[in-house]
Amino acid sequence: MSKEYLEAGKIVALHGVKGEMRLKPWSDDAAFLSAFNTVYLDAAGTQAKRLVSARPHGNITLIKIEGVDTPEHAEELRGHIIYIKKSDAKLPEGHYFVDDIIGLSAVDEADGTVLGTIRLIESYPANEVWHIQNGQREYLIPNVPAIVKKISPDEGKVYIFKMKGLFEDED
């Protein structure tokens, strides 16, 4: 089941003396958070806070939350996970949240054979690597267009080109 509130990043440090904070974003774009007006300090969405500003700063995002105006108050939030409401996000066509992909069945695009279930996604500079679990076996599949042919959360499936060597061969 898909979550309503998603982790956007973690507050890792203070920035300046007016309550601005350094957030390690958990997205592929440090500017992603700047599209939101509200962030949440809990996974249930009960602690809504107005996001005054969010701007990329290298590989982090500098954020300012309404009511956090001193270094002392910002320090209290160090280590907090910041959440966004999933329905507030506008993703480009063909892009998905990791949460939407975890748990989907990986199937062979050629014959529909179930290859396993996607249980983990790791991000690397070149591409993501998907961990597909099939019983006691785990396969590591690169998320590249030559391998991942179609992602269909509505069907509960990801269609994979079963390239020789990615899964055990029966030769």
Indicate whether 120 and 55 sit together in one domain. Answer: no
Q: What is the mean pLDDT of residues 95-106?
A: 89
Residue ranges making up the domain that contains 110: 98-160
For residue 72, being part of any structural domain is answered with yes
pLDDT at 95: 82
Rounded percentage of the chain residues whose pLDDT exceeds 70: 96
Indicate whether 29 and 80 sit together in one domain. Answer: yes
pLDDT at 163: 87
Indicate whether 33 and 59 sit together in one domain. Answer: yes
Where does the pLDDT of residue 170 fall: very low under 50, low under 70, confident under 90, or very high at 90 and above? low
For residue 93, being part of any structural domain is answered with no
Indicate whether 107 and 36 sit together in one domain. Answer: no
Q: What is the pLDDT of residues 112-155, one digit of tens each?
A: 999 999 999 988 888 899 999 999 999 999 999 999 999 998 89
Last residue of a domain, one of 27, 60, 88: 88
Q: What is the pLDDT of residues 14-28, one digit of tens each?
A: 998 889 999 998 877
Indicate whether 79 and 130 sit together in one domain. Answer: no
Indicate whether 80 and 147 sit together in one domain. Answer: no
For residue 147, being part of any structural domain is answered with yes
pLDDT at 59: 84
Q: What is the mean pLDDT of residues 89-97?
A: 83
For residue 166, being part of any structural domain is answered with no
Indicate whether 45 and 102 sit together in one domain. Answer: no
Which pTM value belongs to this model? 0.73
For residue 171, being part of any structural domain is answered with no
CATH number for 40: 2.40.30.60
Last residue of a domain, one of 65, 88, 111: 88
Last residue of a domain, one of 36, 63, 88: 88
Q: What is the pLDDT of residues 3-55, one digit of tens each?
A: 789 999 999 999 988 899 999 988 777 788 888 999 999 999 999 999 999 99
Number of domains in the chain: 2
Q: What is the mean pLDDT of residues 93-104?
A: 87
Indicate whether 83 and 104 sit together in one domain. Answer: no
* Cα–Cα–Cα angle for 52, 56, 62, rounded to 5 degrees: 45
Mean of the per-residue pLDDT values of the chain: 90
For residue 29, being part of any structural domain is answered with yes
